[in-house]
Amino acid sequence: MIPDYWTAREALAVYEFIDEIREGIWNRYGLQLQELMQEEVITGPEEIDDDIEF
């Protein structure tokens, strides 16, 4: 959930951080992600486990 009490500056900071994380993931796993995405287009998505804990 996204809080509705963040300031615009806080929201921008989080947005930029997420963007950096996405870029880092793509740089490290891009080829593997592309292969998985291609596979999902052909076979359909696997069941997603929404109960992932961090």
pTM of the predicted model as reported, rounded to 2 decimal places: 0.64
Q: Could you write out the DSSP letters of every residue in the chain?
A: ---S---HHHHHHHHHHHHHHHHHHHHHHHHHHHHHHHHHHHH-PPPP-TT---
| Residues 6+ away with beta carbon under 8 Å from 40 | 46
| Residue 47 domain-assigned (yes or no) | no
pLDDT above 70 for 23: yes
* Domains held by the chain: number: 1
| Residue 51 domain-assigned (yes or no) | no
| CA within 13 Å, CB half, 40 | 10
pLDDT at position 49:
62
**Tens digits of residue pLDDT in 24-42:** 999 999 999 999 999 888 8
| Residue 50 domain-assigned (yes or no) | no
pLDDT above 70 for 46: no
Please give the residue range of the domain that contains residue 17. Answer: 1-41
Position with higher pLDDT, 34 vs 1: 34
| Residue 48 domain-assigned (yes or no) | no
B/e letters for 9-19, b = 16+ CB within 10 Å, e = fewer, are eeeeeeeeeee
